[in-house]
């Protein structure tokens, strides 16, 4: 059950009355929800039983890497097994009261689990559903996996940042802007937002 955010120093921040269900993994999703949390949103990080892939990159004997700890600060973490009926039921209960759900799985993953945009929109028409992908949800590259270096190479931005001794210099992450988490005043409806890495990096290169 989604709980109301307690009165904290974040109470006067822009998104203090926004609840986010965060299925982000590795960098793109967690960075987006990190910005939302910094703006005061009540972010619930939801991981599979063994933890999201970013957590599992830690050295033996350690629970998390430094990047994982940095990107997931100011969040409340739980685990859910969406492959089981009980896990899906708990997500539906939370989604009915949440404002935003954020995920950056491969396209179609949430639909295959029975918890995609269409199902959640039925439960909560006010929900803003944000998806992050590498190459979009349609087209010939739809199912290609994408990490930061992959998109830098595919978009051509690596030709600007690469040098003789280093393969590439990191160029940051694409993130859902915190302002997108807030509906227009008085609007009863949510919506679906798609953030795609490749076009964003290509536009950045052209700029």
Q: Which of 85-89, 91-95, 157-161 has the lowest mean pLDDT?
A: 157-161
What is residue 60's DSSP assignment? T
Residue 164 within a domain = no
Residue 9 has pLDDT above 60, yes or no: no
Query: Which range marks the domain in which residue 125 is found?
Result: 9-145+175-197
Residue 84 has pLDDT above 80, yes or no: yes
Helix (H) or strand (E) holding 202: helix 197-206
Q: In whole angstroms, give the CA distance from residue 71 to residue 33.
A: 8
Average pLDDT estimate for 163-184: 47
What is residue 53's DSSP assignment? T
Q: How many domains in the chain?
A: 1
Question: β-pairing, 100-103 with 128-133?
Answer: parallel
Residue 207 within a domain = no
Average pLDDT estimate for 96-106: 93
Identify the pLDDT of residue 90. Answer: 97
CATH number of the domain bearing residue 79: 3.40.50.10540
Band the pLDDT of 189: cuts 50, 70, 90. Answer: low
Q: Write the pLDDT tens digit of every residue in 112-150.
A: 999 999 999 999 999 999 988 777 677 777 677 777 777
């Amino acid at each position: 059950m989604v709980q109301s955010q307690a009165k904290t120093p974040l109470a006067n921040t822009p998104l203090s009355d926004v609840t986010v269900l965060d299925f982000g993994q590795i960098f793109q999703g967690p960075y987006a929800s990190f910005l939302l949390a910094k703006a005061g949103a009540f972010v619930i990080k939801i991981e599979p039983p063994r933890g999201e892939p970013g957590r599992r990159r830690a050295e033996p004997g350690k629970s998390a890497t430094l990047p994982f700890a940095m990107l997931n600060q100011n969040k409340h973490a739980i685990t859910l097994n969406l492959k089981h009926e009980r896990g899906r039921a708990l997500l539906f209960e939370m989604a009915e009261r949440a404002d935003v759900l954020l995920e950056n799985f491969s396209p179609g993953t949430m639909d295959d689990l029975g918890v995609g945009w269409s199902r959640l929109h039925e439960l909560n028409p006010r929900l803003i559903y944000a998806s992050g992908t590498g190459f979009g949800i349609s087209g010939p590259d739809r199912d290609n996996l994408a990490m930061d270096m992959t998109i830098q190479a595919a978009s051509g931005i690596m030709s600007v940042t690469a040098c003789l001794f280093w393969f590439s210099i990191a160029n940051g992450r694409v993130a859902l802007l915190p302002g997108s988490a807030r509906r227009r005043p008085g609007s009863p409806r949510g919506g679906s937002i798609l953030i795609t890495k490749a076009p964003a990096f290509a536009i950045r290169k052209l700029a």
